[in-house]
Each structure stands twice: as structure tokens, then as C-alpha cells.
Amino acid sequence: MSNKQRTIAEVISFSGKGLHTGELVTMKVCPAEADRGIVFRRVDLKGAPEVAALAHNVCDTSRGTTIKDGKAKVSTIEHILSALWTMGIDNALIEIDAPETPIMDGSARAYAAEIERVGTVEQDAERKWFEVEEEFLFEIPKKGVRVVITPAEEYSVNVTVDYNSTVVGVQQHRYDDSVNYREEIAPCRTFVFLHEIELLLKLGLIKGGSVESAMVVVEKPISESTKKRICKTFGREDIEVERGYLSHQPLRFENEIARHKLLDILGDLALLGRRIRGHVEALRPGHYANTQMAQLLEKNLK
């Protein structure tokens, strides 16, 4: 990877619904000057307040990563951040007219495709790096969650997921500079277990969710009444259970869940605001663990 900072070559725009709010949103990713970092601007609010995509601005990690600075608050930022940062963009201004990014198809595929289409521009400033010189660990033993970063010459991330699920099984996937992010990581969709859906709806979440934007894992056979209720929830009549997933769409990869968790952690660790030279080993990672690690690294910046 080049040691020079980069920004996006031209403005790219996306529209859709927020996963949890269900609100329609338009989001524009614009070029930004060197050393600006990745910053969100809430153009729908008076004064268009901004919030930098940095670890200390994280305020919530329930079913997504949310950042806040004053009146500026933006949720579910991990997918766009994952695509921008992993595809080499250090500086970008993201103008958004709602409190949550568009979920698109539940992955970062559309984001990555547009970034690749317009390209990036090298800037006259050196990249900032975090050189991992010692082990950093965050874990929640009771939940089997563990994220550890150890010294290495290049950046790499290995993710393992194990939810004691007969459908999901144990899945793994790895990212390093040899991996084509746009083709191998970006297309992987978010997921949810069927038993979680009604709870999330009661909490006022996933208002913009659909079977097109998420993999729904079904651990046990479902009754006709449950099926009808789920069909009504998502406004469909043709939902079936195939290979343990509630969807008419095939898996994009056999280990798509692990790959999506990898997509997420790449976005969450980008909140450090610096490129990492080190190896990340993550077991059952989630937004809370990911952002706790980003904050731990942030506190150790030299």
C-alpha cells in the first residue's frame, strides 16, 4: 500500500432506507483535503454539523456502529467506512440528510463498486500509521468474544465466528493486501437469527430491513403461522426456508457470515483514523468489541 494519503476522485451518491430507522436517505461521498480524515456532515440539520469517524466519537454499538459529536449523529456507518478505508481512501466528506446511512443490499457492494468506478486521487501528504509494537487484547470470556492485535509488518485480519449454530457452523475468513475487497468481502450481507427479529421490531429497530438486505438464519422448522407473520412483516408472500436461511436469494459465499463480520471489523477499526501495521485475530467479533479495540489503540497513539 502506498504511503501517500488518497481521496475519492469525484462525488458519488447513494439513496435508500436506513436499516433501523426505515427513513429514506441520500448520502454523498465527496473528495476532501489531506489530513481531513473521514467526516460525516448532517446536511438536514441547522448549521450542517459534522462528526468525524473516530473511535472516541462512538456512542452506541447496538446492531451497528453510531458516532456522535454535539448535534451531529450518524448510525450504521460501518459498511461505507469499511469500503472507503479498505479501498485506500483516507480523506472524504460524507454529506447525509438523515441520521442513518442507507442499508442498500445489506453489504458494501454498491459502495465498493462506485469507489472503484470513479477511482482515487493521491495527495501530497504522508499516511499516518499505527505501528503495533505490543499485544492489545479485548475480550468478553463469558460470550466467547476475543479481539487481539499483535505486531506484524503488514495489516491483516482473521475472523472466526461460532454461534453454536447447526446452520452457520464454524466459519472463518481472512483479509490482507492480497485480497480483492470489492469482489471477496464487499458483497457479503448482514445477517440476523430468526428468533431475534421480533425482539428487534419491539425495540423499534430494523424498520428498513428486508430479506433482500439480510440473511435470516433459521435454526428450527417454523410453523405456518410464524411464516405468515414473517411474510407480513417483510411485505412478501414467497418467503421459504432454504438450507437454514429465510430467503429466496442464494448465499453469495458458503462462509458469507464470516466474511460480513470481516467487512464490519474492517470498518470499525478504521475509526482509529490511522493505517494499522499489525495482525488482528478476532473470535466472534461484534461492533462493541471492534470499537472497544479501536478506542484502546486510540489511547495508545504516540
Cβ–Cβ < 8 Å for 75, 64: yes
Helices within 250-286 (DSSP H only):
256-269
> Up-side HSE of residue 21: CA atoms within 13 Å toward CB?
15
* Catalytically active residues, by annotation: 287
- Whole-angstrom CA distances from 133 to 17, 21, 65 are 42, 41, 27
* Residue ranges of the chain that CATH labels 3.30.230.20: 4-127
Please count the CA atoms within 13 angstroms of the CA of 198 that sit on its side-chain side: 8
The residue among 170, 153, 188 whose CA lies nearest residue 277 is 153
Residue 199 has what pLDDT? Answer: 66
d(CA 94, CA 77): 11
Q: What is the mean pLDDT of each run of 10 residues along the chain (302 residues)?
A: 92 87 90 98 98 98 94 97 98 97 94 98 97 97 97 98 94 98 97 75 55 76 75 69 72 95 98 98 98 98 78
| Residue 238 neighbours by CB under 8 Å, 6+ apart | 248
Q: In whole angstroms, give the CA distance from residue 89 to residue 9.
A: 10
Residue 185 confidence (pLDDT)? 98
pTM: predicted TM-score of the whole model, two decimal places: 0.92
- Of the candidates 41, 46, 37, the residue with the CA atom closest to the CA atom of residue 6: 37
Q: Which residue has the cell 453510531?
A: 66
Are 275 and 301 in contact by the 8 Å Cβ rule? The answer is no
Q: Angle, nearest 10°, between helix axes 78-86 and 109-118? A: 30
CATH, domain 4-127, list 1.10.260.40, 2.40.100.10, 3.30.230.20, 3.40.50.11540? 3.30.230.20
Report which residue type is found at 192.
Answer: V
**CA atoms of 7 and 120, how far apart (whole Å):** 6
Whether the CB-CB separation of 150 and 227 falls below 8 Å is answered with no
The per-residue pLDDT for 234 is: 67
Integer Cα distance of 92 and 119 in angstroms:
13
By the 8 A CB rule, do 53 and 271 touch? yes
Q: Cα separations (Å) of 267 from 53, 66, 296?
A: 10, 12, 16
CA 242 to chain centre: 26
| DSSP per residue, 2-46 | -SEEEEESS-EEEEEEBTTT--EEEEEEEE--TT--EEEEETTST
DSSP SS3 for 181: helix
Which pLDDT does position 201 carry in this prediction? 57
